[in-house]
Amino acid sequence: MIPGALAKRLKKQITSYEGNVSHMYLDSEGYVTVGIGSLIPSLKAAQKLPFVHNKTLKKATSKEIQQDYTKIKSQPKGKYSFKYKKYTKLILTQKSIDNLFATQINQFHKELKLLYPKFDLYPTEVKMALFDMIYNLGMSKLKNLFPKFNLAIKQKNWKEAAKQSHRKPTIPQSRNNYVKNLLLNAATSNSNLLKQTP
């Protein structure tokens, strides 16, 4: 489990980039998604989520979830999330969205500790940056597509990590800058700390 204060900061920041959408939609890569940018990797995964009917809040059946999932899956990607609403009848309540986010954050925490054994000892800014990276990319892409970034993180070279943190153009520049600035702030704080050490 991650500290409550950090969890609140993460939720606020990630929501600002991912949005908070109660119905299924396609993300920029064409993956079925719901809530705060929560990927639904398969129909089976969708059927495990507590979807309810939009108007009555009646619990959805597996078949009804399949219908929504199939309709969304067949749509073209690249639209705003609200454009997919007309193809759906089901939603997640805010409580379910919050629970899903908490579950994913805790899972990402475990994965980050596997990638970076000293993760829990890193400065808060570095933790925030890494959570944003893994939430957006997933563990596999973060591990395999960013070797220089990962090396810099493990060496606690936050300045170099900032340089290597840039994600591809489909990620808004503001989000790339957010992660870069977090790491640069950590580098500055670390440098000032070293200067103050006798």
Q: In this predicted structure, what is the pLDDT of residue 3?
A: 79
Chain segment 12-38, per-residue pLDDT in tens: 999 999 999 999 999 988 999 999 999
Q: In this predicted structure, what is the pLDDT of residue 198?
A: 40
Asked if residues 153 and 126 have their Cβ atoms less than 8 Å apart, the reply is yes
pTM score of the predicted model? 0.89
Quote the mean pLDDT of the chain.
93
Q: In this predicted structure, what is the pLDDT of residue 151?
A: 97
- Residues 84-105 have a mean pLDDT of 96
How far is 57 from 162, CA to CA, in rounded Å?
45
- Residues of the chain with pLDDT > 90, as a percent, come to 87
How far is 190 from 185, CA to CA, in rounded Å?
8
Chain segment 125-179, per-residue pLDDT in tens: 999 999 999 999 999 999 999 999 999 999 999 999 999 999 987 789 999 999 9
Q: In this predicted structure, what is the pLDDT of residue 169?
A: 75
Q: In this predicted structure, what is the pLDDT of residue 170?
A: 76
How far is 65 from 47, CA to CA, in rounded Å?
6
Among 49, 73, 71, which residue's Cα sits nearest to residue 62? Answer: 49
Q: In this predicted structure, what is the pLDDT of residue 4?
A: 83
- Residues of the chain with pLDDT > 70, as a percent, come to 95
The C-alpha angle 58, 15, 159, rounded to 5 degrees, equals: 155
* Residue 191 pLDDT level (bands cut at 50, 70, 90): low
